[in-house]
Structure 1
Amino acid sequence: MFTLGAQGLKILLQLLSVVTLSRLLTPHDYGLIAIVLVIIGIGEIFRDFGLTSASVQAPELSDGQRDNLFWINTGIGVVLGTVMFFLAWPVQEFMGDPELIAIIRVLSVTFLLNGLTTQYRAQLMRALRFRSIAGIDIAAATVALGSAIMAALLGAGYWALVLQQIANSTVLLAGAVIAGRWAPRWYSRRHEIRSFIRFGWNLVAANLLSYGGKQVDTLIVAGRFGTTSLGLYNRSYQLIMSTFSQIRSPLSDVAIPVMSRVQRDEDRFNSYVISGQIALGYGLGIPIALVAGLADPVVRIMLGPQWMQAVPYMRLFCGATLMSTLAFVGYWVYVSRGLGSQLFRYSLVEVGIRVACVTAGSFFGMLGVAVGVFVEPLLSWSLSIYWLSRITPIPVKALWLGGFRIVGLTATVTCVSWLTSLAIQAGVWLTLLAGIGAGLAGALIFLVLPVYRRDARELVGFIRLMIRRERTS
């Protein structure tokens, strides 16, 4: 609960960033940074090498093993930073934008900063020090946003976004070192880490496949429609999918270490899986549904009238985010049970589905690409439950029925809020508030059904359980 509260503050900061920087910068600026962040995202998967999850999931971890993992992550960060520095020229040649050279070379330093941070943060997660993690994240987001706004006001253009990335990584490192309170000793062969590398490699392969699949749409839009179109597409994508993923990711920091501890208690483990889907599905699904129904006033308020072309993309991304959220609990199961190789094989199929959907959609323009992004998780959610049921005991029926209930409620919320926005011919803020009120009222009506009242009790019980865990820790 503390993690969720802190993440709420981070989301407010991100929304403030969207509102402010979207009015100070251009779609071209965002398009340039989006290209570079794709490269950084691929490198970050290798830089982490799955060793964060490996060290968190391990039943036992000695100080020597922790120190060795620190130096491995740092060394990988140095290598990747060097590689990215020299990749600047070929990337610029491919995209045809000279500004990319300096951007890529400056942002290459983030690999070193993040490599130094990795094991400090992993040890905080392992110790369930969620207060410290949340405080560090909020401080980093605040400093980064303040730096970017100041630079944008001074006319720095896309360099404001570059500064935002550098400032965020720097503060994350400083905060993790201060909170961690340990100094790594030199690498020693006496402390065996092969099992961590083996687990990490499988996770790297799975995450790389997943990330590559998720960036197919960005690469297609950049290659076929240019950086300005990419900026429009990427801004709507970031506003929806990245914002809500910022809630899911910190929840993984809580769920994975907790589920790893109870993995031998099947009943308790399954209870966490069911409750996790309900918490994610309703907790994120209702806000997502409201944004989908009220995309028009949301874009006018958050981005400004010059971004109104983003409305249909946002609605499709809302649907994609909801369905991927329902499937996200499966990722917790894979990692907490140490099923790295099985996750890799599943990711191969999932990425194949996404590539096929997005590629087919691209023949119908940018909107077709967004439709492909929406269709993929519709198919992958069903596959995820079936795949997991074949390799580990999970409550299949409860997950299926719970997912359908969540989809039914959120679809109703979207329709009610959208129809309300069409009926209200008034100012943008009044339209937004009326749509939110009507959508929430539509959600409350479902409580007349016993099955939804049971879900509500399950959700309240999950919240109380998290509060008790926080107090006892």
Structure 2
Amino acid sequence: MAAVAHGHVSMSAIRKSIAFSMVDRYLSQILLIATTATMSRLLTPAETGLYLTANALILLIDNFRTFGVTIYIVQEKDLTREMVRSAFTIILILSMALGAAVCLTSNFVAAFYGTPELETLLVVSAFGFLGLPISGPIMGLLQRDMAFKAIAGINIASGLAGLVVTITLGFRGFGPVSYVWGFVTASFALSALALVARPVFWIFRPSFACIRQLLSFGAASSLITVSNMAYDFLPRLAFGKLLGFDAVAIYSRAVTVCQLPDRAVVSALHPVVLPALAAHRRAGGSVKEGYLHGLGLIAAVQWPALIMLALLADPVVHVLLGSQWGAVPPLVRLMAIGNMALAPAVLTLPVLVSTGRIRSAVLSSLISLPLSFVIAFAAAFYFGLEAVAASLLVIAPLQTAIAYAFVRAAIGVGWGDLAAVARQSACLALGTALAPLAIVAASPTGFDLGWFQTLAVIAGGALGWLAAVFVIDHPLKRELAGVRVFLQTLPYGDVRLRPLAAWRSR
């Protein structure tokens, strides 16, 4: 069987990958924010909630049909053509089967919610499933190659195509289905662009040679993914039945706003972490050192960003969503503080997968997520949306503690190691918060800040954070220097570790 070569990954290559991934995430978030800001003014909260309910169902199914193929391709030590072709075969079969299932059951789902319009949204969404069999394996190969420059271009271009279709249809009065046609467009654009970037047509010859090992890995990986997605989306589905689509929209928009720091900063690490850790471990490196270093960098950015979001929830929601979403800022403030405990989350799955403990990742999800959902559902059923947001103050530390138990068993990281990382990040968070807290406390309108006060809070927080980085000599200072060097050499850099010609010749 033809093998797929791999090589050592240098720190310089990892930094370049993170930089391109950040460009990808920043521009993708700009597109998402533009879409959200525009559509929030074109659709009512009830219409938005209707789409978000359909979207929750589709994303749950969509993540199951990927079947962990990308993760498998990235982490497999001795990848062969037969493995990649078998991965394509699995996705193709699942995509066709699940797309047909969505179409056949859409009328029953619409009847359950008493909303006939939901059937149309689900049926249209099913068309987007046809693109994944092409894009899934290719994007896995690009990630394995650390080709994040190409990945960034593909994601940004497909996101732009989806934005244009969504907003155009929104202005033409198509309503919630505008979002769905945007999703379908982005799905097919992603497949076409992936194939242009990596025209490896041999992938598309079906093969069952490695089905058994793919099924074993994919079942575990899919269970993790679907469990996490279910925890994210089941509240939306429950609120749609219990509290109405308005509540779904308010809760979902609060989650969207609260995820802005993660999407803009931390999510840039998501595509890079697993390939980097897997390559680092194949080369004999210490996963524990990589975990602690990564955690320190993530918390150093995420904690200050979430504190700033909690303080600026009112102006952020007003600018992003408009005046009809006044119930969102109180939820955002609670969620932002709760999310601070989830800083290690981005590293948990990559660490466990790269050390060959994917079953531990499954067990961690199966323990923490059902408990979390029960807490959130009980809060919604008895107390309402603000209680759901407040429940994150309990849920987030619970999830992190359970995940840490498995990470500790995998790489031997101790409480003292975590405390050292937390102390440095807490100093940065404190330095960031001092001036903004003083401004908010002195404001006669509290959190409802004017433009001048908002700009003063942003400037005070940024200067405080930067000063704290240098005063405590945080490791992030060296990473910032590395980014500066990278930007100076960007026109001549090549993030891909293996030339494209080598792939084409196989």
TM-score norm. by structure 1 comes to 0.91
Alpha carbons of 1:220 and 1:369: their partners in 2 closer, same or farther (altered >3 Å)?
farther
Residue 454 in structure 1 maps to residue 474 in structure 2: yes
Residue 364 in structure 1 maps to residue 395 in structure 2: no
Residue 148 in structure 1 maps to residue 128 in structure 2: no
Q: Which amino acid aligns with 1:121?
A: M
Q: Give, in angstroms, the shift of residue 139 of structure 1.
A: 0.5
Unaligned runs of 5+ in 1: none
Unaligned runs of 5+ in 2: 1-18, 498-506
Q: Which residue of 2 aligns with 1:244?
A: 262
Q: Deviations over 1:274-325 (max 9, x none)?
A: 2211222223333222111111111111111221110011112222433223
Q: Which amino acid aligns with 2:394?
A: V
Distance 2:221 2:278 in 1: 16
Q: Which amino acid aligns with 2:462?
A: L
Q: Which residue of 2 aligns with 1:433?
A: 455
Residue 55 in structure 1 maps to residue 77 in structure 2: no
Alpha carbons of 1:40 and 1:209: their partners in 2 closer, same or farther (altered >3 Å)?
same
Alpha carbons of 1:466 and 1:92: their partners in 2 closer, same or farther (altered >3 Å)?
farther
| Paired residues of 1:385 and 1:396 also in contact (CA < 8 A) | no
Q: Following superposition of structure 1 onto structure 2, how do residues 36-55 of structure 1 map, counting pairs within 5 Å?
A: 36-55=54-73
- 376, 382, 386: which is aligned to 2:405? 386
| Paired residues of 2:96 and 2:129 also in contact (CA < 8 A) | yes
Q: Which residue of 2 aligns with 1:221?
A: 239
Q: Which residue of 2 aligns with 1:65?
A: 83
Q: Following superposition of structure 1 onto structure 2, how do residues 272-291 of structure 1 map, counting pairs within 5 Å?
A: 272-291=290-309
Q: Which amino acid aligns with 1:295?
A: A
Q: Higher helix fraction: Structure 1 or Structure 2?
A: 1
Mean CA deviation greater in 355-364 or 417-426: 417-426
Q: Deviations over 1:20-73 (max 9, x none)?
A: 221112111211111111111221222111111011100122222211211211
Alpha carbons of 1:397 and 1:266: their partners in 2 closer, same or farther (altered >3 Å)?
farther
Alpha carbons of 1:176 and 1:250: their partners in 2 closer, same or farther (altered >3 Å)?
farther
| Paired residues of 1:64 and 1:188 also in contact (CA < 8 A) | yes
Distance 1:326 1:216 in 2: 23
- 249, 271, 274: which is aligned to 1:253? 271
Q: Which residue of 1 aligns with 2:503?
A: none
| Paired residues of 2:134 and 2:195 also in contact (CA < 8 A) | no
Residue 124 in structure 1 maps to residue 142 in structure 2: yes
Distance 2:281 2:413 in 1: 12
- 99, 110, 114: which is aligned to 2:128? 110
Alpha carbons of 1:294 and 1:414: their partners in 2 closer, same or farther (altered >3 Å)?
farther
Alpha carbons of 1:419 and 1:296: their partners in 2 closer, same or farther (altered >3 Å)?
farther
Residue 387 of structure 1 aligns to a residue whose secondary structure is helix
Q: Give, in angstroms, the shift of residue 392 of structure 1.
A: 3.2
- Percent identity, aligned pairs only, is 23
Q: Give, in angstroms, the shift of residue 459 of structure 1.
A: 3.9
Q: Deviations over 1:242-301 (max 9, x none)?
A: 672465445222121111012156654333212211222223333222111111111111
- 320, 335, 348: which is aligned to 1:330? 348
| Paired residues of 2:273 and 2:347 also in contact (CA < 8 A) | no
- 29, 36, 46: which is aligned to 1:18? 36
| Paired residues of 1:297 and 1:431 also in contact (CA < 8 A) | no
Alpha carbons of 1:351 and 1:185: their partners in 2 closer, same or farther (altered >3 Å)?
closer
Q: Which amino acid aligns with 1:288?
A: L
Mean CA deviation greater in 129-138 or 146-155: 146-155
Residue 95 in structure 1 maps to residue 113 in structure 2: yes
Q: Which amino acid aligns with 1:388?
A: V
Residue 316 in structure 1 maps to residue 334 in structure 2: yes
Q: Give, in angstroms, the shift of residue 120 of structure 1.
A: 1.4
Q: Which amino acid aligns with 1:394?
A: V
Residue 453 of structure 1 aligns to a residue whose secondary structure is coil
Q: Which amino acid aligns with 2:455?
A: L
Q: Which amino acid aligns with 1:368?
A: A
Q: Give, in angstroms, the shift of residue 169 of structure 1.
A: 0.9
